[in-house]
Amino acid sequence: MGIQLESQNLFASIDMGTNSFKLLIIRFEPATAKFTTVHKHSVAVVLGRNSSSSSTPLISPDSQFRAIEALTKFQEILGSHTVTQIRVVGTSAIREARNQSVFINEVKEKLGFDIQVKVLSGVEEARLIYFGVLQFLHIYDKKVLTVDIGGGSTEFVIGDNGDVVYADSLKSGHLTLTEKFGENDLVGLRSYVRELIEVSGLIGKVKELGFEVAVGSSGTIRAIEKAIWCGYGCHDGKREGLREKRSRNWWWFSRDELRGLVERLCGVGISETEKARRDGFFGRRSEFIVAGAVLLEEIMELLGISEMEVSGYALGEGVVAEMVSEAFPGIDLNANVRWKSVMRLAMRFNGNDRMENGVQCSAIAKVIFEGLRKCNKVFGNQFAVDICLDEKDLEYLEAACMLHNIGLYLGKKGYHKQSYNILMEHNQLDGYTGDENELIAQLVRHHRKKFPKFEWHLQGFSKEKSGIICSILRISVIIQQHKLLKLREIEVNNSSEGLVLALVKKRNQPMLSDPEKSLVKDIETEIGKEVDLFEVVFHQKLLVVCHMDC
């Protein structure tokens, strides 16, 4: 039986923002309501640069050129993932541009886009941001004030049980404020922001409606939260250890912590060393981070926000969530609290590359898991009843795949043990029992090095079943780590000698080069070490075959 590694139900959004263009590809599984990021790509187009200096903003030819380049790259990525369900949205810079229609027509002509580019109003943008936030944080049943700082505008939305109660947009963001005030006119910046918020009527409306939780989204607020998490704003330069963070939400900061960060960023007589440190930490956001941090500090002060939770998802995820709701009417996007917590924990410690590694590992593991389960039926259920694999087992396996590499955040040496410690010492997986959390932690701990003896006593988890899941995880990690093969299919078959796991190259790829053939041999050798362990736990021989050509 051949099983494709590429999953169905892929959805993509392209957010043409004022500062960055962002491509997002999501896999949604309707049976389990799992909402998983497959790929993210961001390009600093800076579409709104210099546009705010005119009363009639224009998208410049240089900005148009950068936009076309970014979208061309996005097309290549979408083609490689075979995504057909795509939605493209434009925000502040396009919304305000006098040459909006010229720009959109240029995009369609140069790229052959047959997809409609939807230019969002500020209120529509705020609504979709709230929808995206709900896919990350477990706050559906709370009254939530969401703040999203973009390059050219800042969105505010109050939502309650999935419905938007109030939405508004201010025509100022980190890019436009930086262009207007630079980094040195902090007095002018603060005065301008305060006046803008006060005359907008936002303060009175927020006080009238009230909120239980304040949430920040977007790259600027995430960068601020990361800086606070890493101790960037601490004057002694010490980074708070994970043990000290044990009692707090890991996607959160207080107004006092933000104030400390702003003082560090805006201190008098900042040295060249400190500027270099800031550039190194914030990367391309360094140019705009002062304006973004001051803007957020004023918002929190004026709206009475003492602490703010932070969402790793925003507009792009909201656009995809709306697409999913349209594709699967009646689906409850907020049903899978457990998977959301797995994704939050993985994103806390992993950047985009390691997140993609986890997603790929999870996809490989699922293919092997389902293939073995089907072979079990073909064999006539030869295996003992207590080791029959079910959906819960697949959930534990996929969670372990997503979390196996989080320990790399603390260093490569012994990272599997660090991954285990993070899971065991910090209660961050919502909806899982203590035994379930420990099972996932043990799987993560033993995805490499020594195979576990599974001598613990966890209610409902047999030694045999745990061994099978661990064996699948170890094999999946090995396959994922050898990326040069660019595998697209895995076949799991039964034969007279036992089970056959065949790794098959993408059919339209050329024959393997000599270095790739050498890599195939390395994979066969490395997986070969796992075959004996698999036979012990699964009571069947496993033959691993890497096809050399298509």
3-state secondary structure 10-74: EEEEEEECCCCEEEEEEEEECCCCEEEEEEEEEECCCCCCCHHHCCCCCCCHHHHHHHHHHHHHH
Has residue 166 been placed in a domain?
yes
CA–CA separation, 505 and 485 (whole Å): 7
Has residue 245 been placed in a domain?
yes
CA–CA separation, 440 and 429 (whole Å): 10
Of 281, 296, 327, the last residue of a domain is 327
Together in a domain, 375 and 278: no
Together in a domain, 183 and 264: yes
Number of alpha helices (DSSP H) and beta strands (DSSP E) in the chain: 19, 15
Among the listed residues 98, 49, 42, 105, the one whose alpha carbon sits nearest the alpha carbon of residue 73 = 42
Together in a domain, 410 and 283: no
Handedness of CA 320, 323, 328, 333 (dihedral sign): positive
400 in Cβ contact with 443 (< 8 Å): yes
Strands 487-495 and 163-170: unpaired
Tokens standing for 182?
């630079």
Q: Check residue 440 and give its pLDDT.
A: 96
Together in a domain, 307 and 383: no
Has residue 334 been placed in a domain?
no
Strands 542-546 and 85-90: unpaired
Among the listed residues 309, 318, 275, 315, the one whose alpha carbon sits nearest the alpha carbon of residue 19 = 315
Has residue 155 been placed in a domain?
yes
Give the chain's domain count: 3
Of 327, 355, 376, the last residue of a domain is 327
Of 297, 327, 357, the last residue of a domain is 327
Together in a domain, 274 and 221: yes
Element (H, E) at 377: helix 352-378
439 in Cβ contact with 458 (< 8 Å): yes
Tell me the residue type at 183: E
Q: Check residue 247 and give its pLDDT.
A: 45
Q: Check residue 549 and give its pLDDT.
A: 55
Task: Give the dihedral of Cα atoms 143, 145, 148, 154; nearest 10 deg.
Answer: 140
Together in a domain, 160 and 305: yes
Together in a domain, 308 and 423: no
Q: Check residue 108 and give its pLDDT.
A: 87
Together in a domain, 377 and 353: yes
Together in a domain, 436 and 322: no
Please give the backbone phi and psi of residue 386, each rounded to the nearest 5 degrees, phi first: -75, 0
Has residue 482 been placed in a domain?
yes
Q: Name the DSSP class of 239.
A: P
Together in a domain, 67 and 111: yes
Q: Check residue 310 and give its pLDDT.
A: 97
Has residue 128 been placed in a domain?
no
CA–CA separation, 16 and 24 (whole Å): 12
Q: Check residue 260 and give its pLDDT.
A: 93
Q: What is the CATH number of the domain that holds 86?
A: 3.30.420.40
Among the listed residues 66, 87, 75, the one whose alpha carbon sits nearest the alpha carbon of residue 14 = 87
Together in a domain, 295 and 377: no
Together in a domain, 307 and 322: no
The single residue listed with the structure tokens 């060393």 is: 273
325 in Cβ contact with 317 (< 8 Å): no
Has residue 333 been placed in a domain?
no
Q: Check residue 486 and give its pLDDT.
A: 59
Q: What is the side-by-side order of every strand in the sheet holding 143-149? A: 163-170, 154-160, 143-149, 213-217, 307-310, 252-254
16 in Cβ contact with 94 (< 8 Å): yes
Has residue 127 been placed in a domain?
no
Q: What is the CATH number of the domain that holds 468?
A: 1.10.3210.10
Q: What is the CATH number of the domain that holds 144?
A: 3.30.420.150
- Per DSSP, the three-state class of 166 is strand
| Contact partners, residue 409, CB within 8 Å, separation at least 6 | 349, 350, 418
Ranges of residues in the chain with a pLDDT under 70 are 1-7, 50-55, 113, 233-249, 268-269, 376-387, 455-457, 483-488, 505-513, 516-517, 547-550
Structural domain containing residue 527: 340-546
Q: Check residue 505 and give its pLDDT.
A: 63
